[in-house]
Amino acid sequence: MPVKIIVPTPMQRYTMNHEEVEVGGATVDSALHHLVENYPDLRKHLFSDDGKLRSFVNVYVNDDDSRHLQGGETPVKDGDTLTIVPSIAGGLDAVGAGGAPSFHLQQNPDMMDLSNYEVLRYSRHLIMPEVTMEGQKRLKAAKVLCVGTGGLGAPLTMYLAAAGVGTIGLVDFDTVDLTNLQRQIVHRQSTVGKPKIDSAEQTLKEINPHVNIVKHEVMLTSENALDILKDYDIIADGTDNFQTRYLVNDACVLLGKPNVYGSIFRFEGQASVFYATDGPCYRCQYPEPPPPGMVPSCAEGGVLGVLPGIIGVIQAIETVKLILGEGQPLIGRLLMFNALKMSFREFKVRKDPNCPICGEHPTVTHLIDYDEFCGIGRGNEGEALTTGEEISAREVKAKMDRGDKFTLVDVREPYEYAIAKIPGAKLVPLATVKDRLHEFDSSDEIVLHCKSGRRSADALQILKQAGFKKVKNLVGGINAWSEDVDPSVAKY
Ligand SMILES: [Zn+2]
């Protein structure tokens, strides 16, 4: 009986870029095992060593989470669709229960006044029965914190400012980089090099000078998160890393605030509203983060420039709906968007009674060390590289100049090789390294490189496990080569 399995983008490199795979199987488990038999490299991404499905991977049978059916034992039949929904670096069974959650703003909207100028500015809102003067005053009274002013934060904050949200808090400590401008439309050519929160403030003030912008130029940490978040009604999560996602989630649960969530990768996005008071939280959906390095970041994997526009705007709409108390929020629902197919799919998210923070017996009662929780800095990215296994771009250049005998291997993709390359490098994309080991001479010294040094570190582990002894990783990848050796090689 063929069952269709939809493979998410980050895992498609292990399925020879197939997005849909048909397999046999009578249960979720047997279908997934057939899948990994066909694509063995996928196994470690789906299953742990003891054969259990990894906890950061959720499998949906049609639109329902298999964990809430019979788990791996859930029967599947001809024509069913299994969708693998992993976490990406981004309840109340409320579906049908109807209505927005009751939600009190910290500032009393009745105390807000709108000037005649504001009445005119927001007139297209005021004549909508779902908004009216009352709703516009709620918007003015509302305080929304946007964590991150990047791809998601840009459209999100711009629309919130235009809609008249009275106070918008911004958390960011980064500066505007040229590579941001392809999608982070709140930043401009003229603000490259400036702090992102100043750049964002400038744009938002130009959109709507009535908005109060509160700037938090810090990295959100367990020490400062509760203090920063407590003054806001709604938190919108536009971050790009798992540590901050779990931190934002936990702080929101502890403070009883809704967390308007969005995440993006290449041409796929997710959005939801995690509000533990009324439904599930992010941990209910993704109890554990993926191991570091398993899910590529946008910097490593890329992202379609327009995509965060869609997801950030969905976050803005959900935020406005919560403030107005109108409509059915995305609480208990995960919305997945695929830009290539131009399709939206919706999945149920249920509150997990055993959730460590919002469940019946929470074990997480205060903010924890999220770097540790996410395995950052513990060498979990496979074996930690020793310094002897690293080599700088300048050292590689010196070896070339001396005429040392060594093989330089580029483990990036052919389309990256077409952007920029180091002369003399042999292209062996990471996914093919295992199958092309016979092309390497183990008596030769081998220097591996990629864009930033991350994928080549994975390749180094593969070579070491295959018995290669003289292997080195070019620290900082081709971008370091461009910076330190040859600026004519384009950075990307
Ligand atoms: Zn939870």
**pLDDT on residue 99:** 58
Which position has the higher pLDDT, 403 or 208? 208
Ligand 1 centroid distance, CA of 488 (Å)? 50
Query: What pLDDT shows up at residue 385?
Result: 59
The residue extents of the domains of the chain are 3-86, 142-373, 387-484
Tell me the pLDDT band of 64, cut-offs 50, 70 and 90: confident
Q: Is the pLDDT of residue 427 over 70?
A: yes
Predicted pLDDT of residue 292 = 75
Q: How confident is the model at residue 2 (pLDDT cuts 50, 70, 90)?
A: confident
| Closest of 160, 298, 169, 294 to residue 239, by C-alpha | 298
CATH architecture of 387-484: 3-Layer(aba) Sandwich (3.40)
338: enclosing H helix or E strand:
strand 333-338
Tell me the mean pLDDT in the region 344-365. Answer: 94
CA 138 to ligand 1 center in whole angstroms: 28
The sign of the CA dihedral 462, 466, 472, 478 is: negative
* pLDDT cut 90: percent of the chain above it: 71
Cα of 258 from ligand 1 centre, angstroms = 12
Q: What is residue 202's predicted lDDT score, i.e. its pLDDT?
A: 98
pLDDT at residue 396 in the model = 94
Residue 111 and residue 101 in contact, taking contact as beta carbons nearer than 8 Å: no
> Would you mind telling me the total number of residues written for the chain in this entry?
492
> Could you tell me where the DSSP H helices lie in 190-348?
196-207, 225-229, 242-255, 282-285, 298-301, 307-324
What is the distance in A from the centroid of ligand 1 to the CA of 270? 18
Assign 69 to helix, strand or coil: coil
> Of the given ranges (182-186, 253-257, 384-388, 420-424), which has the lowest mean pLDDT?
384-388
State residue 49's pLDDT score: 82
Q: How confident is the model at residue 224, as a pLDDT? A: 97
What sign does the dihedral 213-219-225-227 (CA atoms) show?
negative
Provide the pLDDT for residue 93: 35
Percent of all residues in the chain with a pLDDT value above 70, rounded to a whole number: 95
Of 46 and 213, the structure prediction assigns the larger pLDDT to 213
- pLDDT confidence band for 255 (50 / 70 / 90): very high
**What integer pLDDT is reported at residue 441 of this predicted model?**
86
Are 102 and 79 a contacting pair, CB within 8 Å? no
Q: How far apart are CA 107 and CA 94, in angstroms?
A: 27
Which tens digits make up the pLDDT trace of 111-148?
A: 999 999 999 999 999 999 999 999 999 999 999 999 99
Residues annotated as catalytic are 298, 450
For the beta carbon of residue 118, count every other beta carbon within 10 angstroms.
17
pLDDT at 216 over 80: yes
pLDDT value at position 184?
A: 96
| CATH number, span 3-86 | 3.10.20.30
Q: How confident is the model at residue 58 (pLDDT cuts 50, 70, 90)?
A: confident
Q: What pLDDT is stored for residue 377 in this prediction? A: 63
Handedness of CA 185, 191, 194, 195 (dihedral sign): negative
Residue pair 336/270 in contact (Cβ under 8 Å)? The answer is yes
Ligand 1 centroid – CA 351 distance (Å): 6
d(CA 359, ligand 1 centre) in Å:
6
Contacting residues for 146 by C-beta, under 8 A, at least 6 apart:
153, 156, 157, 160, 168, 169, 170, 171, 236, 238
CB 11 within 8 A of CB 35: no
**From the CA of 280, how far away is ligand 1's center (Å)?**
5
Confidence class for position 89, pLDDT limits 50, 70, 90: low
Residue 381 pLDDT: 43
**What pLDDT does 386 receive?**
61
- What digits encode the pLDDT tens for the residues 411-426? 999 999 999 999 999 9
Q: Is the pLDDT of residue 388 over 90?
A: no
How high is the pLDDT of residue 279?
93
Mean pLDDT of the chain, nearest integer: 90
Alpha helices in 96-212 (DSSP H): 116-121, 123-126, 132-141, 153-163, 196-207
Share in percent of the chain as helix, strand, coil (round to 5): 35, 20, 45
Mean pLDDT of 87-111: 64
Ligand 1 centroid distance, CA of 284 (Å): 4
| CA distances (Å), origin 305, targets 82, 240, 267, 463 | 29, 15, 9, 35
Residue 135 Cα to ligand 1 middle (Å):
30
What residues contact 61, with CB distance under 8 A and at least 6 apart? 28, 69, 74, 76, 80, 81, 82
pLDDT at residue 436, as a whole number: 93
Return the CA Rg of the chain: 24
Q: Could you tell me the pLDDT band of residue 380, with boundaries at 50, 70 and 90?
A: very low
Global pTM reads 0.78
Between CA 134 and CA 60 the distance in angstroms is 41
- Inter-axis angle of helices 477-484 and 393-402, to 10 degrees? 70
CA distance 298 to 29: 31
Q: Is the dihedral of CA 63, 345, 85, 97 positive or negative?
A: negative
Question: Measured in angstroms, how far is the CA atom of residue 79 from the centroid of ligand 1?
Answer: 32
29-38: pLDDT as tens digits:
889 999 999 8
The band of 387, judged by pLDDT with boundaries at 50, 70 and 90, is: low
Q: Is the pLDDT of residue 90 over 60?
A: no
Model confidence at 294: pLDDT above 70: yes
Residue 442 has what pLDDT? Answer: 84
- What pLDDT was estimated at residue 1? 60
Q: How confident is the model at residue 240 (pLDDT cuts 50, 70, 90)?
A: confident
Residues 6+ apart with CB under 8 A from 334: 85, 270, 271, 272, 285, 346, 347, 348, 349
Six token digits for residue 349: 């998210």
Backbone dihedral angles phi then psi of residue 234, each to the nearest 5 degrees: -135, 140
Return the structure tokens found at 406: 């060594």
Q: Alpha-carbon dihedral of residues 322, 326, 327, 329, nearest 10 degrees?
A: 10
Calculate the dihedral angle through the C-alpha atoms of 328, 333, 334, 337, rounding to the nearest 10 degrees.
-50
Q: What is the dihedral of CA 354, 355, 358, 360, to 10 degrees?
A: 10
pLDDT (mean) for 364-382:
77
Beta-bridge partners for 337 = 269, 344
Architecture of the domain made up of 142-373 = 3-Layer(aba) Sandwich (3.40)
Q: What is the reported pLDDT for 379?
A: 43
Ligand 1 centre to CA of 229 (Å) is 18
Residue 282 CA to ligand 1 centre (angstroms) = 6
Matching residue, tokens 């993709």: 413
Least Cα distance to 192 among 201, 181, 202 occurs for 181
pLDDT of residue 432: 92
What is the arrangement of strands in the sheet containing 143-147, beginning at the earlier edge strand? 212-216, 167-171, 143-147, 234-237, 259-265, 268-274, 333-338, 343-348
Phi-psi region at 266: left, alpha or beta (left = phi > 0; alpha = psi -120 to 50): left
pLDDT band at 433 (very low <50, low <70, confident <90, very high): very high
Tokens representing 259 are: 């967390």
16-57 pLDDT tens trace: 888 899 998 899 988 999 999 989 888 888 888 888 888 778
Residue 215, Cβ neighbours under 10 Å: how many?
17
